[in-house]
Structure 1
Amino acid sequence: MSVTIKSGREIELMKEAGNILAIVHDELKHFVKPGITTKDIDKKGEEIIRKFDCIPSFLNYNGYPASICVSVNDEVVHGIPSENRYIQDGDIVSLDAGVIYKGYHSDAARTWAVGNISDEAKKLIEVTRQSFFEGIKFAKEGYHLNDISIAIQEYVESFGFSVVRDLVGHGIGTALHEDPEIPNFRQKRRGIKLQAGMTLAIEPMVNIGRYDVEWLDDDWTVVTEDGSLSAHYENTVLITDGEPILLSAKK
């Protein structure tokens, strides 16, 4: 495993990548509404990213055909935008996006409610988001990766929801996916000790039902096996000798 410690200059570049990505998500939050297509969301997201002279991290990444992953309802992650998929009142929509700024990546995801959603769906979105913040209480120098994983899992399961096992968070920097992998559930080993200068993409994916998932025939879209709703929340996080800094959160 090769975990990179970022220099001061690299951190400044990643901060800017994160700031831009926070703007992308903030603008998309207001754009998502009934009647638009998932392709409309992708086009809008790419337009904002390129307005800042940045490159979408996801476009053509391992063959992924879009700039924004748009996953609706039981789709966990990596939904492929389509001109034929319309957003409807009552949907929950997970948007995962990344930005490359001067060679450095940021990565973040949000799940938004569209119109009137069920109380259970609201709770799912809230718990998924808060599980991230429970996890990063341990995203500090001296703690271990597994401390983050355990905190996320215990919080999620206290509400009767489940944490996806087949997909995990990751390190990030000059590559979108770097070491280490960051599970959202307890591991047998403590994992690496966290050090200031590490940059991590921490991303709980939470299902109302069981944690089992499956891939659709497009080889990208991941859905819940039981058809239950799923939510996703992610930020690019800088480890420091004090509190973690969220590089991709709105300032």
Structure 2
Amino acid sequence: MNFEEKYNIMKIGGKILGEILKILSHEAKEGVNLKKLNNLAEELIYSYGAEPAFKGYRAPFAAKEYPYTLCASLNEIIVHGYPEENIYLKPGDVLKLDLGLKYQDYFLDSAITIFVEEAKEEVIYLIDITKKALKEVLRIIKPGIRTGDIGWKIESTIEDAGLSVIKDFCGHDIGEFLHGDLQIFNFGDPGQGKLIKEGMFFTLEPMASLGSGEIEKIDDYVFKTKDNSISSHFEVTLVVKENGAEVLTPII
């Protein structure tokens, strides 16, 4: 399949994913259990003619397959939180919704951070800065830069705001596979790393915390901040075009 065909399919899939995340964010209210959000995500994915990307996927670091469609990570949980039926949302919760789907043989991946009903000023600041890091790095992406330029922009935006970068996870190339070999970290040195070329499809995943940024694994998939500080995570799938990046999963 040529670039244009792949691009057109992934653009449709990305729009679907963005719409589903928007719906989930509206449904994430006080008293809702996370399993309900998972089931809704799965139902919506199938209704659009797509398939869940995470359910049944085994990450390289994991001993088993991920059992859910949605990753729902609360408060100090950074990524891959289980959307379990016994976990109910309450006011002040910070919820990271990470969702992937497969549409006509191509994968897309995206994540947002929201809060339930209300949030402390520092939490709103954390979410805003993480989102700002994503917006700022999107402005610099074009053919000819390197992955180190991307990481440096994310890292400097977050650290200049007095927050900590979570450095243990990264963006990745995507398309025929959910996770390709390319790794785009949230830190780096300008001019270093892999060359970014026109026609590449990959994700960006800035993550930040109010604390130290150190992590701790608490389950096969689930990671939290070591000091139990609140974390934030945004992710988009994009394509590199001649004059810059085009976001395929509109969330910001």
Q: Which category of TM-score, normalised to the shorter sequence, fits these structures?
A: over 0.9
2:207 to 205, 208, 229: 205
Residue pair 1:134, 1:151 contacting (<8 A) in 2 also = yes
Q: Structure 1 117/250 Cα, relative in aligned 2: closer, same or farther at 3 Å?
A: closer
1:50-69 to structure 2, matched below 5 A, reads 50-62=46-58, 63-69=65-71
TM-score calculated relative to the size of structure 1: 0.95
1:36 to 18, 32, 36: 32
Distance 1:229 1:6 in 2: 43
TM-score calculated relative to the size of structure 2: 0.94
Q: Structure 1 6/72 Cα, relative in aligned 2: closer, same or farther at 3 Å?
A: farther
Q: Structure 1 138/179 Cα, relative in aligned 2: closer, same or farther at 3 Å?
A: farther
Q: CA deviation at 1:85?
A: 0.7
Q: Is 1:95 the equivalent of 2:91?
A: no
Q: CA deviation at 1:97?
A: 0.3
Q: CA deviation at 1:243?
A: 2.4
Distance 2:202 2:39 in 1: 27
Q: CA deviation at 1:179?
A: 2.5
1:9 to 5, 11, 31: 5
Letter in 2 for 1:38: L
Where does residue 41 of structure 2 map in the other structure?
A: 45
1:74-223 to structure 2, matched below 5 A, reads 74-187=76-189, 190-216=192-218, 218-223=219-224
Q: CA deviation at 1:6?
A: 6.6
Distance 1:220 1:250 in 2: 24
Letter in 2 for 1:12: N
Distance 1:250 1:115 in 2: 19
- How many residues are matched? 246
Which structure 1 residue ranges, 5 or more long, are not aligned?
Answer: none
Please give the root-mean-square deviation of Cα atoms over the aligned residues, in Å: 1.5
Distance 1:222 1:6 in 2: 38
Residue pair 1:6, 1:198 contacting (<8 A) in 2 also = no
Distance 1:6 1:99 in 2: 21
Q: CA deviation at 1:21?
A: 0.2
Where does residue 61 of structure 2 map in the other structure?
A: none
Residue pair 1:6, 1:199 contacting (<8 A) in 2 also = no
Distance 2:158 2:108 in 1: 25
Distance 2:2 2:79 in 1: 28
Letter in 1 for 2:11: K
**Alignment identity in percent?**
33
Residue pair 2:106, 2:176 contacting (<8 A) in 1 also = yes
Where does residue 249 of structure 1 map in the other structure?
A: 250
Residue pair 2:146, 2:191 contacting (<8 A) in 1 also = no
Q: CA deviation at 1:71?
A: 0.2
